[in-house]
């Protein structure tokens, strides 16, 4: 019962470093999403994908890139990390547009 | 104005109490609505979908008022295990386009003995 798995779970980066967050789902879902959650801000959509090979910008895409080369994987990249990107990142997937979104356990990222 | 607004709380209630949360949304064309629950330092999980006719799941009742663009969640006979943050979620995407789940900032509930 893996569901949605995110790696890593914790990471500390120095300003300017790059990293990739991996999201994997084993439910054959079409839709995948990356959110960030900050105190008092709720979850905000960074990028999303409606199927293999497709990506689109969400509410706060600047500073991030994504790729969905395989249906089960959705990668979130930070090319040059900034302290403003310190946050908890959640990946989610859903079968269809209006069905339940399943979330990964989150990645706690600190940029110093 | 935020797209989805909730009272952040916290709501502190004794066990057995009834508590209601409210949520308003800005896009009158929104088609689907949900309540998610998030425990401290955990991921959000679906509590229930919200249908136009209203729906009930055990001690939980959700209502939708499209005219007022308002969603509510009622919890009866509160349990200690209900302590969590409740997220109002609205799909702001138009029908036929990609999903755009928009989350409220959440309402925190603390149930006490």
Q: What is the pLDDT of residues A36-46, one digit of tens each?
A: 999 888 899 99
pLDDT tens, position by position, A26-84: 999 999 999 999 988 889 999 999 999 999 999 899 999 999 999 999 999 999 999 99
Contacts of B35 (CB under 8 A, 6+ apart): B46, B47, B48, B50, B60, B62, B71, B73, B86, B87, B88, B89
- pLDDT, position A1: 65
Out of A13-22, A92-101, B91-100, least confident range: B91-100
- pLDDT, position B57: 94
CB B7 within 8 A of CB B106: no
| Chain B residues touching residue A90 (CB < 8 angstroms) | 43-44
**Tally of helices (H runs) and strands (E runs) in chain B:** 0, 11
Q: Which residues of A touch B (CB under 8 A)?
A: 31, 33, 35, 40-45, 48, 50, 56, 58, 90, 94, 97-98, 100-101, 103-106
| pLDDT block averages, 10 residues each, chain B of length 113 | 87 97 91 93 94 92 94 97 96 64 92 95
């Amino acid at each position: 019962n893996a569901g949605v798995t995110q790696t890593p779970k914790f990471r500390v980066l120095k300003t300017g470093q790059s990293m990739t967050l991996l999201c994997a789902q084993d439910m054959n879902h079409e839709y995948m999403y990356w959110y960030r959650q900050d105190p008092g801000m709720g979850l905000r959509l960074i990028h999303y994908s409606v199927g293999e090979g497709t990506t689109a910008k969400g509410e706060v895409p600047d500073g991030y890139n994504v790729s969905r080369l395989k249906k089960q994987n959705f990668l979130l990249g930070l090319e040059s990390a900034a302290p403003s990107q310190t946050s908890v990142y959640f990946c989610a997937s859903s079968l269809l547009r209006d069905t339940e979104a399943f979330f990964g356990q989150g990645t706690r990222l600190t940029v110093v | 104005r935020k797209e989805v607004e909730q009272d952040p709380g916290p709501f502190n209630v004794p066990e057995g109490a009834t508590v209601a949360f409210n949520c308003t949304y800005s896009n009158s064309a929104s088609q689907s609505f949900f309540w998610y629950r998030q425990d401290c330092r955990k991921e959000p999980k679906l509590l229930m979908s919200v249908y136009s006719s209203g729906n009930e799941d055990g001690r939980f009742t959700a209502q939708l008022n499209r005219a007022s663009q308002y969603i509510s969640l009622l919890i009866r006979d509160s349990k200690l295990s209900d302590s969590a943050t409740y997220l109002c979620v609205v799909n702001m995407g138009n029908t036929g386009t990609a999903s755009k789940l928009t989350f409220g900032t959440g309402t925190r509930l603390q149930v006490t003995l």
